[in-house]
Chain A
Amino acid sequence: MKFIKKSYVAFILLIMYAPVAILMVYSFNDSKLPIWKGFTLRWYEEIFKDYSIQQAFSNTILVAVVSSIIATIIGTFAAIGIERMTGWKKSLVMNVTYIPLLSSEIVTGVSLMLLFGALGMTPGISTLILSHITFSIPYVILSIMPKLKQLNYNIYEAALDLGAKPSYAFRKVILPEILPGVLAGLFIAFTLSIDDFIISFFNTGPGVDTLSIKVFSMTRKGVAPTINAISTIMFGTIIIILITTNIMASKKQKKINKSNKSL
């Protein structure tokens, strides 16, 4: 039974990662066509020559960094505020929060495009960032809400009674408790922004490409292996970051355990 369970998980993981693997393999393929012709690094060299890909890459990162940070700040305060709301106000705000989550991306994308049009904004980086903040905030709020529910408000009140200013009490009592949720929200917002295509597609301007839009424009003629190369680099980077943070976290945990024992 355990074997069946493990094989099922392995099967699903295989399906999830098969395209990731094939893209990585083709990033080293010495041919523009998806047929293996031998190992090469020339697509990685091409990245340094291809200005449009560098541009698309830096746009993607810029939009992701700015939008995920702003979304996390707004979303964190929003979650704290919503948690303290009651009655119809709370359910109204929560329902509005679920709209971007449940409505299809295409409706979100189109409706934001119409809004920016009505406001007379030229589509470009700024509209991209605004739209990404909008679809990220709900994910941030939802990842923080469960942490807030577990929070014991009496400790916060105690801090206030002992003379702490609200901002100090927030930093020292509330923030450390909800930090895992905040960081998870930031990570999810950043990932969604990098991966987004549909909303970006409707809200970008001429000449402002993100990687997704670049991929889309190439799908008819065949995606250039340079895209595979840069995607492999991004994927590799995140894996390395995750592994190192995990190792650091477990080292820290060991230290804490040690100091606890010596106490």
Chain B
Amino acid sequence: MDKKRLALPYVIWASIFVVVPVLIIVYYSFFDKGIFTLQGYKQVLNPRYLGNIMDSIGIAFISTVICLVLAYPLAMILSSKEMSAKGIILLLVILPMWMNSLLRTYAWGYLLQDTGVVNSLLSSMGLPTMQFLYKKSAIVFGNVYNFFPFMVLPIYNVLCKIDKNVIEASYDLGADKFTTFKRIILPLSMPGVITGIVMVFMPALTTFLVSRLLGGGKTTLLGDLIEQQFNKTGDWAFGSALSVILMIIILITLVFMSKKDSFDKGGGLF
């Protein structure tokens, strides 16, 4: 029997539910009630919306950098031999999801509010209290919290697959720890790092919850903008145009990643 045919149900499914919807969104970005228009794309250039988009990119960028800086050492610790990490990874990544993520982000509101647990801890230690919420930094925090697992997993996976003999060889040839890290471990882990960056940057760019729950709705981000067009203002052309731009960014990333073979070289999510 031809094994390839087993994929047929999925190919049909993906065509209907992944490819066709993409085409529909492209259609709506150019046609308003059946009439061709570029209004949606012109709207994107409106300085107010352009500002929102730049805000989103900035916040997503900072969130991704912080995730990477926090996740890389963690992945290194977990992949070292002294930790039997499989259980910890599960604990870290999958289990908190059983408490609804919306609810958890909302709970950070309790913890970070002016009279919340974190500020009480600060004042009990004699430190000045801070206003955490309703600022852009709160949105960054929420993003880092929510998307952190997607940075840890691919880096952890790629680090586990590095041949330990290569590292030993580097030490045998007289390299110190820092050189070995810079010349051996870091380059070999790049596929995982790239996967992680993409998997954090994309959702951080388009979230519309964190900004509302922790940012107090003061900052409008790309995700909020798209959501508003479909649910409030009904400007489907603008909403679709924004989605198409996002999808183009995604396609470029895909091409870039398959050129680098990030997924095949063990940088995958699992």
CA of A100 to CA of B202, assembled, Å: 11
Whether, in the assembled complex, A97 has its beta carbon less than 8 Å from a beta carbon of chain B, the answer is: yes
Q: Which residues of B contact A228 (CB under 8 A)?
A: 103
The total number of A-B Cβ pairs within 8 Å is: 232
Is the beta-carbon distance between A142 and B268 smaller than 8 angstroms?
yes
Contact of B243 among A81, A107, A115, A234 (CB under 8 A): A107
Is the beta-carbon distance between B74 and A78 smaller than 8 angstroms?
no
CA of A12 to CA of B8, assembled, Å: 42
Tell me the nearest residue of chain A to B87, going by C-beta: A246
Binding-face segment, B20-28, B128-136, B183-191: B20-28
- Which residues 192-246 in A have Cβ within 8 Å of B in the complex? 192, 194-195, 197-198, 202, 211-212, 215-216, 219, 223, 227-228, 231, 234-235, 238-239, 242
Is the beta-carbon distance between A238 and B7 smaller than 8 angstroms?
no
Contact mask for chain A residues 58-94; partner B; CB cutoff 8 A; 1 contact, 0 none:
0000000000000000110110111111000001011
Q: Which residues of A contact B263 (CB under 8 A)?
A: 94, 98
Is the beta-carbon distance between A211 and B100 smaller than 8 angstroms?
yes
Whether, in the assembled complex, B107 has its beta carbon less than 8 Å from a beta carbon of chain A, the answer is: yes
Q: In terms of DSSP, what is the predominant structure of the interface of chain B?
A: helix
Q: In terms of DSSP, what is the predominant structure of the interface of chain A?
A: helix
Whether, in the assembled complex, B114 has its beta carbon less than 8 Å from a beta carbon of chain A, the answer is: no
Most buried by A among B99, B145, B270: B99
Whether, in the assembled complex, A9 has its beta carbon less than 8 Å from a beta carbon of chain B, the answer is: yes
Tell me the nearest residue of chain B to A104, going by C-beta: B206
Q: How many residues of B contact A (CB 8 A)?
A: 82
- Of the four ranges (under 10, 10 to 19, 20 to 34, 35 or more), the interface on chain A belongs to 35 or more
Is the beta-carbon distance between B9 and A78 smaller than 8 angstroms?
yes
Q: Which residues of B contact A184 (CB under 8 A)?
A: 270
Contact of A103 among B11, B97, B247 (CB under 8 A): B247
Tell me the nearest residue of chain B to A237, going by C-beta: B98
CA of A42 to CA of B22, assembled, Å: 47
Is the beta-carbon distance between A80 and B19 smaller than 8 angstroms?
no
User: Nearest 7 pairs between A and B by C-beta?
Assistant: A81-B7, A78-B10, A104-B206, A111-B21, A19-B107, A81-B6, A77-B6
Residue positions of A touching B, CB distance < 8 A: 2, 5, 8-9, 12-13, 15-20, 22-23, 26, 34, 74-75, 77-78, 80-85, 91, 93-108, 110-115, 118, 130-131, 133-134, 137, 139, 141-143, 145-146, 166, 184, 187-188, 191-192, 194-195, 197-198, 202, 211-212, 215-216, 219, 223, 227-228, 231, 234-235, 238-239, 242
A-B contact pairs, 9 of them (CB 8 A): A5-B77, A17-B96, A75-B10, A78-B6, A107-B246, A111-B25, A137-B10, A198-B208, A212-B101
